[in-house]
Structure 1
Amino acid sequence: MVSGELGEDFTYYFAASEQVPSAVGLGVLVNPDHSVRAAGGFILQVMPETPESVVADLENRIKGLPPVSTMIEKGVSPEDLLKEIAGEGELKFLERFPVRFACSCSKEKFKDAMISLGGEELQSIIDEDGFAETQCRFCNEKYFFNREELEEMKAAAQRKKR
């Protein structure tokens, strides 16, 4: 972390760690009820051997942009945002796909994590509650394990220990 501003920190990371000249712009507008009104961003990385004049032009255009969150709130599309950054240059869109939040959690993954607790800990859960409920910290999905499932996990944990 360089500044605590995510865009600046990512830009620094790409330049220092990956050694790829990059620009990152991020923004979020939050409503009074703490829901997100507008959020978006971009990552721009130049190809090797890009002329310095092109890099300088891109830097100047990015510096002149309004805040990304303001642009998103006004309905600026990702393509239009890119056109603002690139200016008069020729753009070729290679692929488009929707951005969406998708968590890869599953009951099976939580089961594997529970098995890793070991037989003694699982027995303790069985003795104390007779069930377990877990919740994903990313998507808030809840998974319930009954006594029979806990017994199966305990047996699997004991087999792994051998």
Structure 2
Amino acid sequence: MRRLWRRPSGWQVLWLTVVWTALWGHLSLGVVVSGAVVGTLVLVLLPLPSTSLGFRVHPVGLVAFLGGLLWDLARSSLRISWWALRPGPPPDTAIVTVELRSSSETMLMLTTMALSAQPGSLVVDARPGTGRMTLHVLGAGDEPQATAQRDVSRQEALVVGAFGTRTDKEELG
């Protein structure tokens, strides 16, 4: 027999209580209690279907990912600033295709977003079926393919460390 109701998550009730309190515009015991009651009723009477988002959040990996992302943002911003201000010809550019090790579409999307946020690189195409990503790279250097593959693999490892499932981590090796 199918259960008609499911016990609401404490995090969901807490979130709905915070939203309720924000909507009322002031903090009082009555607003908080009524928010918790309304939030619980909403979750019991209108339950959401259970879904798997295809990722898990790992706090230590998340800190490493954010630290690596901030470092990459700062480093690439300084490089772009230097190239813009220095005299001489513009830096070399290249279009390269790299292979991702993870087959997860979620990891592909998160890696694509992290790479696109960095100045000097742009994801031109990302293919979930093949795990290939095509990038436009500014300041490509002598071996743009090897450099791009190394940078993408490093970013993918940080993303999988922060959000990957067990299967994603196994695919990285």
The TM-score with structure 2 as length reference comes to 0.20
Report the structure, 1 or 2, having the larger strand content: 1
User: Larger RCO: Structure 1 or Structure 2 (Cα < 8 Å, ≥ 6 residues apart)?
Assistant: 2
Report the structure, 1 or 2, having the larger helix content: 2
Larger radius of gyration: 1
